[in-house]
Amino acid sequence: MILAVVYAFTKDGTPMGRHPIFGAVFHWFGAMCTVLLWLTALSNPGIVVRGGPGTVDPEAVDADDIYCDICDIWVGPRTHHCRDCGVCIEKHDHHCVWMGKCIGKGNMKAFVWFNTSWVCAFIYMFACLALLPGPHKKVH
């Protein structure tokens, strides 16, 4: 999808297609969006497994710790169980339906950079389309 948008706005006949520098910058934004999308989608969001990082020793439970009935483990604060994924996620933010996975401690930085890159790409695209001259029409 990202690459299709980049192609559509940089092919010949479009304002950005007539100016190679503008098209090259937009291609760079498209590549960044794609790479950051894959980094976010393929990284571990911070899944908490029994005995692994993020779990709390049952004998050292603190007042802030939470017990997950579904996973049957004690977890630290800001760790929540995701109903869609069926696991506890450390510093769980939300379950992203677009990526099909949770956003948590492990992939939050890549997710923020991904969102920043596509917003910047669209701002750049609309600025170029507003500032660059459109196709010249012949007057009879």
pLDDT tens per residue across span 5-51: 555 555 555 555 566 777 788 788 889 999 999 999 999 999 988 77
- Per-state percent for the chain, helix, strand, coil, to nearest 5: 40, 15, 45
Give the amino acid at 113.
Answer: W
For the entire predicted model, the pTM comes to: 0.75
Does 96 participate in catalysis according to the annotation?
yes
| Given 96, 102, 120, 128, the catalytic residue | 96
The count of other CB atoms within 10 Å of the CB of residue 94 is: 12
The conformation of residue 93, written as its DSSP 8-state character, comes to: -
Q: Which tens digit of pLDDT belongs to each residue from 86-134? A: 999 999 999 999 888 999 999 999 999 999 999 998 898 888 777 766 5
Q: Which helix (H) or strand (E) holds 30?
A: helix 20-42
The conformation of residue 19, written as its DSSP 8-state character, comes to: S
Instruction: Provide the β-strand partners of residue 47.
Output: 89
